Structure 1
């Protein structure tokens, strides 16, 4: 099954809902960064939440999620847009700790329980929108839930999960975001809280083969969901040799002259996708002329 997301309304349009399967997308991130199991789970959860948040935007708008915890994983950085494209990386991809008391990957243990979750939205205006909240859990689902409630004042429930095979590959990844619309009735809130207390973990639902539509029906109840549309989801990076070349020019003539004299060439690597770009002495000399 190719990764995709659905957007829906529920309970007579009193609830807005998103659900996504990101298994292949998180697998590509794992391949590119060679993340170890717990790091894969943390990065995958953040990318899953990030791609659903990107789908809340329009046009060419995009956002960046930055999670800075006090755990050994370091920073998690995720970029996403309104087209279902997402990319991400962690500072220390080869981070893994023992399973937690429930016998599951200890995401909290490597992310940390203190720090910040920051969301920066580029909405095409003069200034970006920035929202920041403290990390409240480190498990990430609860942290994104708190972000929506505190920074955007939208009561939400965020469920994200990643299962990792013994060989480090991704068995299942995905998630959902459920949000109450303004003016939702108290009976709707009660019904939602009751259902959220009964559902299985989202990664378990995906492992069992449930589609994003079926995930929403499991969460919200069969017959209560009205799917609006679907969107393909993929790992996508907008880096290029030209972009990095422009960055080298921006370093200035002294830096470029040093590259030419010391190495006679240059290499750049994208943090997000690990793609490498090499520049010959001739290319650096052209950059030097432009920098002058």
Structure 2
């Protein structure tokens, strides 16, 4: 089954919701960056969230960036996504090995540590919108739930999960975001809160074979759910040799001279996908 996400409304438009299954995309990210399990989980959770938050945007050229910056050994996670199911991302230090937080639960919070979450929305305006909060756990889902409430004043519930095989490949990855619209009835809030307190974890639902639609039906049990959109997703970086060359040529003359003075060809590595590009010194002058 291809990776995809869905959008839905429920409770007579009082709830909007998103859910995703993106194992393949997270596996590609793991392979490109050679992440170890706890960093695979951190990057995978951020990618799932990024895909869904990109899906929330409207403009064809809109772009959203999530940055979880902490003092833990992973250093931080950065993900960028668009409205069309494309996302890319990286972990500052992909090779982190920590004991499990509890049996079967990777210590993503310990890998990221204390710090902040920044969300940058580029919607083609003069300046991008930027909101940030202090990390409350570093576990990604809890931090995003807090971000939506504090920075966007949208009561939300975020569930994210990544399951890693013993051979380090990604077994399951996905998540959901459920949000309450203004003036939601108390009875809807109470019912949704009760549902969320009793549902399985995201990885448990995925292990049972639930699709994104079925995950939302579980979260929104007892509500009328209408699925309004579906989008395939993929880990995709738009870098190219030409783009990097343009960026190098935009540097100051002094910086370009310093780079060109190095012995041998100049190598540039894309942080988002790990691709390498080489240039002759005379190309950048």
Scaled to the shorter chain, the TM-score interval is over 0.9
1:16 offset after TM fit, Å? 0.2
SS of aligned partner of 2:198: coil
Partner residue in 2 for 1:107: 108
Q: Equivalents in 2 of 1:236, 1:49: separation in Å?
A: 15
Aligned partners of 1:217 and 1:224 also within 8 Å = no
CA–CA separation in structure 2 for the residues paired with 1:115 and 1:223: 37
> Counterparts of 2:245 and 2:47 in 1: how far apart (Å)?
28
Deviations along 1:156-198, one digit per CA (max 9) or x if unpaired, are 0000000000000000000000000111111000000000011
* Aligned residue in 1 for 2:132: 132
- For residues 81 and 228 of structure 1, the distance between their equivalents in structure 2, rounded to whole angstroms, comes to 18
Q: Does 1:122 align with 2:154?
A: no
SS of the residue aligned with 1:162?
Answer: strand
1:227 matched to 2:224: no
Aligned residues of 1:259 and 1:265 also touching (Cα < 8 A):
no
SS of the aligned residue for 1:262 comes to coil
Aligned counterpart, 1:5: 5
Q: Which residue of 1 aligns with 2:150?
A: 150
Partners in 1 of 2:89 and 2:224 — Cα distance?
34
1:41–1:209 Cα change, 3 Å = same
Separation in structure 2 between the aligned mates of residue 180 and residue 260 of structure 1, nearest angstrom? 55
1:285: how far off?
2.1
Distance in 2, matches of 1:286 and 1:68, equals 35
Report the TM-score, using the length of structure 1 for normalisation. Answer: 0.94
- Alpha-carbon distance in structure 2 between the residues aligned to 1:100 and 1:158: 20
After superposition, the CA RMSD in angstroms is 1.3
Matches for 1:56-205 after TM superposition, within 5 Å: 56-58=56-58, 59-112=60-113, 114-205=114-205
Q: TM-score, normalised by structure 2?
A: 0.96
Matched, 1:15 2:30: no
Distance 1:98 1:183, change over 3 A: same
**Distance (whole Å) between structure 1 residues aligned to residue 262 and residue 158 of structure 2:** 51
What is the total number of aligned residue pairs between the two structures?
Answer: 284
**For the structure 1 residues 101 and 286, does the alpha-carbon distance in structure 2 shift closer, same or farther, using more than 3 Å as the test?**
closer
Measured after TM superposition, the shift of residue 243 of structure 1 is 1.1
Per-residue Cα deviation, 1:233-261 (whole angstroms, up to 9, x for no partner) = 10011111111101211223333334444
Partner of 1:277: 277
**How many angstroms apart in 1 are the aligned matches of 2:138 and 2:40?**
14
The more displaced of 7-16 and 250-259 is: 250-259
Q: Give 1:6 deviation, angstroms.
A: 0.2
> In 1, Cα distance between the equivalents of 2:116 and 2:76?
10
5+ long unaligned stretches in structure 1: none
C-alpha contact 1:159 1:177 (8 A) present in aligned 2: yes
Report if aligned partners of 2:11, 2:223 keep a CA contact under 8 Å in 1. Answer: no
- Structure 2 counterpart of 1:287: 284
Q: Does structure 2 conserve the Cα–Cα contact (< 8 Å) formed by 1:121 and 1:129?
A: yes
**In the superposition, relative to structure 1, how do residues 165 and 287 fare at CA in structure 2: closer, same or farther (>3 Å)?**
same
Q: Which residue of 1 aligns with 2:26?
A: 26
Please list the CA deviations of residues 130-158 of structure 1 after superposition, one character each: whole Å capped at 9, or x if unmatched.
00001011211110000000000000000
